Structure 1
Amino acid sequence: MFVQNCEFCQTTLKADSLPEIKQRGKEHLASNHHESFAELFAEKYAGRRCGNECGYTFPDDVSRVANSAFVCPNCDHDHLNPLVTQYVFWRIKRQ
C-alpha cells in the first residue's frame, strides 16, 4: 500500500501500486489545488532557467512567474508535469 498526504488540505490518498498513487496525486493537485501549486511553482522557478534549455530565465518577481501558468514564454515548454511528478514522488510513503 502506498500513501500520500496532501499538504494543502490534509487529505490522505491511498493506492496499491506506485503508478496508481502517482496518478492520484497528480489528479488531486490538478483538481483541488491548482492555485496553490501555481504559487509553489512561482517560488521554485523565480530566477531559474527554463527546463528546456532555451536560455530563458524566469523573473525574480514571484508574481510575474505565477502569471506564466507554468509555460516558458520563450519556447512554450510546459513545466507543470515534471514539477508535479517530482512533487508527488517525494511525498509518497509505503505502508
Structure 2
Amino acid sequence: MFEGFDFRPGIVKWNSYKLSPDDMTDIRWLSEDMFMVEYPKGYLIDVGWYGRCFTLNGVFIIYIIKDTEWDNPVLKEEYRSVTELYEGMKIAIHKINQLIK
C-alpha cells in the first residue's frame, strides 16, 4: 500500500494491505489498522478503514497525530475511495513535512 510514495524521513511501521487504485486485492479485509508511518518530533500518519468493509459502507481516514494525542489529531480527513485516499496521502505527507521542519 502506498508503494512509490516517499515517506522520508518517516519510517513505515505498519503496512498490512495490498491495496491501490489499480489493485483492490485486499478490499474485503479492510480494518482500522492499515498503515502507519512514524516521523521525527513525535508525529505519525495513520490510515484506517471505518465501516463495514464487505458492503463498503464506510470511509478511509488519514490521521496525523502528535505525541500519541489520538483525541486531538493534527489532521483527520475522510475519503470514500482508494483513489481519493491516495490523493489525500500526498496532502498528509506534505503537511507533516511542513510540521517537522
TM-score normalised per structure 1: 0.30
Which has the bigger relative contact order, CA under 8 A and spacing at least 6? 1
* More strand by percentage: 2
Higher-Rg member (1/2): 1
